Chains A and B, each alone.
Chain A
Amino acid sequence: MTKDRFTIVGRPLPKIDAWGKVTGDTKYADDLVLPRMAYGKLLRSAHAHARITAIDTTRARALAGVYGVITGADLPRVKFGILPVSQDEEALCVDKVRMVGDAIAAVAAVDEETAERACELIDVTYEPLPSLMSMEDALAHPEVRIHEYGDGPNVHKNVSLQFGDVDAALAASHLVREDVFYFEGNTHLPMEQHAAVAQWAADGRLTLWSSTQTPHYVHRLLTKILDVPGAHVRVIATPVGGGFGGKLDPFAHEIAACQLSKLTGRPVKIALTREEVFYVHRGRHPVLMWIKTGFTNDGDITGCHLKTWLDGGAYGSYGVASTFYTGVINPVTYKIPVYKFEGARVFTNKPPCGPKRGHGTPQPRFALECQLDKAAEQLGLDPADMRRRIVADPFTKTANHLTVTTIGLGECIDKVVEASQWRAKRPAFAKGVVVGDRGLGERRRKGIGIACSAYMTGAGTAIYWNNMPHSGVVLRADRSGGVAILCGATDIGQGSDSILAYLPAEVLGIEPKDVHVHPADTSLTPVDLGSYSSRVTLMCGMAAIQAATRLRRAIAEAVAKKLEISVDRLAFRDRKVGDPDDWEKAVPFAQAVELGEAMHGVLAFPGAYAPPKRAGKYKGGGVGPSPCYSYSACVVELTVDEETAEIHLDDVWIAHDIGRALNPLLVEGQVEGSIYMGIGEALMEAQVFRHDLHKAPSLLDYKSPTTLETPPIHTILVETDDPEGPFGAKEAGQGPLLPVIPAIANAIYNAVGVRVDEIPITPDKVLKGLDLKRQGKSARIGPERIPLFKFKEPLVVESAFGQPLDAIAVRPFADAQS
């Protein structure tokens, strides 16, 4: 097994759970049925902001078929939240509701219908408060307080960081652009609605099966929320039917199911309706952005100043991290010598926003990439060439002290430029190429646009500060020749279970089918922090390689003794262990395990991974560091109807620097899914509200792309073999979403000369732009103003731009990671 001679890595193998998924055998949370199980429902607030003055559950309790009713009074009076700095949620609100959809009470009954009827019989008396449904309102009404904590009235977080003298750099620039952009919020929309089954058994121990992306954090928080010893709580993540960040918080239904089970002595299931999922949300933040960037004549960036305002909704959730993420990742992509970032997250009476695929970075990416396009035009440069020129240097630090390792972005740009025939099409389309089909030729115009991006391969720090591994596995060899791997990682469709089979199989020379994967069960599996921040393949992969390498050594020692040769002669392949030059004497793997077990006892080995310690030494430096970053370049070709402004995507080319494709099929799947999701955000998806209510809380009203709106996606994988990744791999699940959104915006401009600086780009906005253009006015649609808002005095830190990465990075638990 050398890097050039992989047997499993690099092959387009089926996922190990594919068979269960195509036969209907896979059991998702709502497929679980336990004897005597009760069905639960939550009573949710119909008010966006109100005091609760009384709750009377008498009538609900009296309904036949009701086993139990709980309110916040039945739970320990403790607030919680996923981030230690934002402990502001209650599973069942006691004194106050802060959004439509806040849970107030919960019922367990013989069936869902009875539970629903019982909820209608709960009498809640509210004293309505003014609802603040926009950032503008929330900032204009400091006398109405949604929370009593934060960085000011209705301001959850206010950050300001400065790396180097940005004003001086901008003053010395040939061109300085100032632009304002808006990115509307949108939601994850997993096809599976959240569901949980709780069983508080007679022995006092609690088991929760849940469609969660982060069983470990749910385990920790249940301990606090329910005031129960963590040692008596077991959280099992069932296969997740789509997550995208929407199943990363502890939720009211999980907590209520546990408490109702305790009360009724029965297992309790709560499955959310689609409408509830829209209100539970934690999706993409609406973000208003102001960005000022300086350029030289040649298109080099001299400095950049970014301000972001995030509409956070009613609770903290991951919002502090989201706020930082709107600022800290942009400098990873291009050479930005000095950088200033100011960000604020505002509370409003809407469902809370949180992490959605790309967490906080698609919004500023849209702003930066559209601004680069505008600058390129002013400078008379080709936007692809300009980007190619300013790609960041590998193995250096950014202005904000992030360490980047390999960068395949230059190659990515070259590949999409070539594959899309950019050089021929762009000048042609800019002159106005019309398409002749369907008799609409004279009004249908072609356009092509480009954008790039970068994304983290796993957050460098955990959600709660600790010195333990971010991912751990236990690997156990069986005398049958099978190997079991236990790991807390959660498969949300991205294929983490399969990675946990492929990597030990590669190291041990066996087949993935020989590896039995036991994921995401807090009573059995070492902690993996969860399926977020594109961390799983890298972190559990490194842990799995470490454990497999240890197992391999133990087995090799025993086989070497038996064959009377030295350990370093041995190869592991084709389910055998032996000397490649004397292969007929090779020992079958099962027998090799027996030899190993006879020598060492039980063959079970741990593996652990924690990221290199590279956080910038300033307050806030913990958000942004990652072992390595993926890079993507994207070209979009589209057609715009000048009369209806209908936008038809013709083709998308995406080149993605994956480090190494452990399984190209799965990588392509992640890239294609990211592009699809980005297209939905760019053109149609919007989580918007009217009179305190979600405007479109159904799959019909909330428009998302079908097969008909999803164009052909041409995926090109670029391999850079990153020293930080398992066999060189970087992330694929989030980064490729980022560039498609600005690439679409840039292509629309190329087609019809209209700049829509606001996501989603719907036909009505393009039409307005076309009207302005016909009137000879500036054909720009987008926000005109920024809020009157005082950011904190910046924390001023020297820019680390261009410095080589630290020679020695501390890598905890790193021995035996080959």
Chain B
Amino acid sequence: MKIRLELTVNEETREVLVAPHKTLLEVLREDLGLTGTKHGCELGECGTCTVLVDGAPVLSCLALPAELQGRAIATVEGMAGGGQLHPLQQAFAELGAAQCGYCTPGVLLTAQSLLSERPTPTREEIREALAGNLCRCTGYTKILDAVELASLRMAEVAR
């Protein structure tokens, strides 16, 4: 049996017909073609599949779309706007914060949520915020650097 759902992803409302037990991760990747969201464990342990729901990080492998109708879902594909990369995307690219790139979408969205809550976090606060996102390539150093750089640039623009 399938159910019809209306999901708002990256500010576009889309209709999908899916089995009710399909996770948000599966629906994003398989039904909406948004493969930017990756899977690392499908058990809620690694943070790779993080998306934002109403601005807060959510593990899409543990979320059921049926409960998310009318909520604002954001994926990495929605971060850049008007042909402009998000400052976080720009900083991650410039500083080499994405190596294999597989954890990057989840890290970017978690960081975006952090910066919307706390525009100028300390390095410790960035560490805390990203503690649920595993990365095996970078040793996190360049990721922390890139979040700091993006935060500085965003603060300058805001000023």
Which A residues lie at the B interface, using CB under 8 A? Answer: 12, 14-15, 17-28, 30-31, 188-193, 239-244, 273-274, 492-495, 665-666, 668-669, 672-677, 698-700, 704, 706-708, 710, 712-713
Task: Report the minimum CB–CB distance from B101 to chain A (whole Å).
Answer: 3
Taking CB atoms, residues of chain B closer than 8 Å to A669 are 96, 99, 137-138, 142
Q: Can you give 16 A-B contacts (C-beta < 8 A)?
A: A19-B93, A22-B101, A23-B36, A23-B79, A241-B101, A243-B100, A274-B40, A274-B43, A493-B102, A673-B99, A673-B137, A673-B138, A699-B43, A699-B134, A706-B133, A707-B143
B96 touches A18 (CB 8 A): yes
* B interface residues with partner A (beta carbon < 8 Å): 29, 34-43, 45-46, 48, 75-77, 79-80, 85, 88-90, 92-96, 98-105, 108, 126-128, 130-144
Which residues from chain A contact B104 at a C-beta distance below 8 Å? 21-22
Instruction: Write the chain B residue with the least CB distance to A666.
Output: B96
B46, A24: Cβ atoms closer than 8 Å: no
Q: Does the CB pair A17–B101 fall under 8 Å? A: yes
Given contact pairs A27-B35, A192-B102, a sample of 19 additional A-B residue pairs in the complex whose CB atoms are under 8 Å apart:
A18-B93, A24-B34, A189-B136, A191-B38, A191-B102, A241-B38, A242-B136, A493-B101, A665-B96, A668-B141, A672-B141, A676-B140, A677-B136, A699-B40, A704-B136, A706-B131, A707-B143, A708-B127, A712-B141
Q: Is the CB of B103 within 8 A of A191?
A: yes
Choose from A22, A30, A677 the contact partner of B89 (Cβ within 8 Å): A22
Contact between chains at B140 and A699 (CB < 8 Å)? no
User: How long is the Cα–Cα vector from A12 to B45 in the complex, in angstroms?
Assistant: 33
Complex Cα distance A12/B126, Å? 24
Task: Enumerate chain A residues within 8 angstroms of B127, measured Cβ to Cβ.
Answer: 707-708
Known: A21-B98, A23-B80, A23-B89. Is A713-B41 also a contact (CB below 8 A)? Answer: no
Shortest distance in angstroms between A695's beta carbon and chain B's nearest beta carbon?
16
The reply to whether B131 and A274 form a contact with Cβ atoms under 8 Å apart is: no
Given contacts A22-B104, A706-B131, A707-B130, contact A698 B43 (CB under 8 A): yes
A431 CB, nearest partner CB in chain B, Å: 30
Report the separation of the CA atoms of residues A749 and B41 in the bound assembly, to the nearest whole angstrom.
37
Q: By the criterion CB–CB under 8 Å, are A713 and B139 in contact?
A: yes
Contacts of A12 in B (CB 8 A): 96
In the bound complex, how far is the Cα of B92 from the Cα of A699, in angstroms? 25
Chain B contact surface mostly: loop
Chain A residues within an 8 Å CB radius of B144: 707
Q: Is the CB of A191 within 8 A of B100?
A: yes
Within 8 Å by CB of A242, from B77, B102, B130, B141, lies B102
Are A242 and B89 neighbours in the complex by a CB distance under 8 Å?
Answer: no
For B75, B89, B98, B128, the residue with the greatest tally of chain A CB atoms inside 10 Å of its CB is: B98
Q: Does B98 lie within 8 Å of A274, measured CB to CB?
A: no
Q: Which of A20, A242, A698, A704 has the most CB of B within 10 A?
A: A242
Alpha-carbon distance between A634 and B144 when the two chains are bound, in angstroms: 22
Closest 8 interchain pairs by CB? A24-B36, A493-B100, A21-B101, A676-B139, A241-B102, A672-B139, A18-B93, A493-B99
Alpha-carbon gap, A665 to B141, bound state (A):
12
Contact partner of A708 (CB less than 8 A), chosen from B39, B94, B105, B128, is B128
A contact residues around B45 at 8 Å (CB): 698-700
Could you say which residues of chain A place their CB within 8 Å of the CB of B138? 669, 672-673, 676
Residues of chain A contacted by B94 (CB below 8 angstroms): 14, 18
User: Which of A242, A672, A708 touches B100 (beta carbons < 8 Å)?
Assistant: A242
B77 CB contacts on chain A under 8 angstroms:
23-24
Residues of B within 8 A of A193 (CB): 39-40
Give chain B residues whose Cβ lies under 8 Å from the Cβ of A28. Answer: 38, 102
| B-side contacts of A17, CB under 8 Å | 101
Of B42, B43, B95, the residue contacting A700 (CB under 8 A) is B43
Q: Among A15, A17, A673, find the residue whose CB has the most chain B CB atoms closer than 10 A.
A: A673
Min C-beta distance of B66 to chain A, whole Å: 18
Name the distance in Å between A14's Cβ and chain B's nearest Cβ: 5
Q: Report the separation of the CA atoms of residues A672 and B48 in the bound assembly, to the nearest whole angstrom.
A: 20
Chain B CB within 10 Å — which of A12, A19, A244, A712 has the most?
A19
Q: Taking CB as reference atom, which chain A residue is nearest B37?
A: A24
B133 to chain A, nearest CB (A): 8
B131 touches A191 (CB 8 A): no
Which chain B residue has the least Cβ–Cβ distance from A31? B35
- Determine the distance from Cα of A21 to Cα of B128 in the docked complex, in whole angstroms: 24
Q: Which residue of A lies closest to B88 (CB)?
A: A22
Nearest B residue (CB) for A192: B102
Q: Known: A669-B99, A672-B139. Is A23-B76 also a contact (CB below 8 A)?
A: yes
Chain A residue contacts of B102, Cβ below 8 A = 28, 190-192, 241-242, 493
- Whether the Cβ atoms of B142 and A191 lie closer than 8 Å is no
With A and B bound together, what is the CA distance between A193 and B43 in angstroms? 13
CA distance A712 to B46 in the complex (A): 22
A422 CA / B93 CA spacing, docked (Å): 35
- Inter-chain contact A706/B134, CB cutoff 8 Å: yes
- What residues of chain B lie closer than 8 Å to A494, measured between beta carbons? 99
Query: Smallest distance from the beta carbon of A615 to chain B beta carbons, Å?
Result: 33
Q: Give the residues in chain B near A674, CB-CB below 8 Å.
A: 139
Contacts of B105 in A (CB 8 A): 24
CB distance from A419 to the nearest CB of B (A): 16
Which of B39, B92, B141 meets A713, CB within 8 Å?
B141
For B133, list chain A residues within 8 Å (CB): 706-707
| A-chain residues with CB within 8 Å of residue B134 when the two chains form the complex | 191, 699, 704, 706
CB nearest to A241 among chain B residues: B102
Chain A nearest Cβ from B138, distance in angstroms: 5
The smallest C-beta distance from B91 to any residue of chain A, in angstroms, reads: 9
Greatest chain B CB density within 10 A among A239, A274, A706 is at: A706
Contacts A24-B105, A676-B140 given; does A191 touch B37 at CB 8 Å:
no
Cα A323 to Cα B131 in complex, Å, equals: 37
